[in-house]
Structure 1
Amino acid sequence: MQALRTRAACAARHARLTSTNTTTAPRASRSYASGHDSHHHHAAPEVAEGLGTAFYLFAAAIPAGYAGYSISQPGPDGEEPILSQWLRSFAYFNDWELRNTLRTNIIEQAAHDKHLFMNAGKSTHVELKTPELLYSGSPYNVPAGHYPNLDHVTAHYHRQAAAEEERKVKALLAKAKAQEQEQKQETS
């Protein structure tokens, strides 16, 4: 590519007219050869270059394309193409109706789930796990009346936690009693 660019630049230089006189012929190029002892310069050695991989791929693509075209065309009496017959011999292509049904069901289920998640409302219930955070502000330089009395909220959550603990204790006692009765029945 560099050689083509160099030759194109050289040709453009020769074709350009001189800037001083536009009617004269292009300037003659200089020759820096001295004219003597030119027999000491040797030419580059000849290299035998092959045609390259691209040529052979292109040459192979022509008959391969013709062969592919000919096996994909229907027969003279309207029979099925050879390529279609060969593909039909694989089991993968025979159950296409079942595959399409399964894919359709999966896509419909995904769309249903998407609509369900997109249109579901947010839960507004927030359980207070640490009531001490209600008073987490700075205790200094607070004007009177800026902190409301939230003792009733704290008491509510303490009562709720106590009721939950009582329910768990009752459930454990009932479970222990049931296991004790099972052991008595097994031993007797």
Structure 2
Amino acid sequence: MRKLSVGLLTVMAVMMSSMGSANASNYPCSGAKGGIARCDSGQFICNDGTTSRSEQVCTNELKNSINKSAGIGAGIGAGVAKQSSKPSAVDSIKETGDNMSKTAKDKASKATDKAKAAEKETSKAVKDKAKATEKETSKAVKEKADKAKAADKETSKAVKEKADKAKAADKESAKAVKEKA
């Protein structure tokens, strides 16, 4: 008998709590949302910080009436409706989002800094290579010009020697012709 009465009490308690939540769901910001905190541009703002999806237009009179019917708070000037002491899911989600955003910004900033450093390094390496190549090219051109100059000098010397030999041969020929005559 005792088990039966405990079972009946449990069933009644479950039914009453489901009726309470059924009634509560007829109000904007009902249940875990904690009631209506205020009206903003005709929308109900719940005590947990979310905006109700109710299609009713929020006025202070309607807000007070609904809160009073639901047993949450009193009319205007009666104080602030009691809010939950634990942070809402929205606050937690917002904080997580803010933290993720900050982390993403930090990572992006670090990546940008790395990219700039790499770009600077690459730019310096390219400039250094260009200077070295320019120096080598200039040196090669100068050496080629010096070799050409030396070759021209030798050619000029050889031509002069040949001319001198031809002159000497001409002189000897002229001398020999003179002696015969």
Query: Could you say which structure has the higher strand fraction?
Result: 2
- Higher CA-based Rg: 2
The answer to which structure, 1 or 2, has the higher relative contact order (CA under 8 A, 6+ apart) is 2
TM-score by length of 2: 0.25
TM-score by length of 1: 0.24
Query: Could you say which structure has the higher helix fraction?
Result: 2
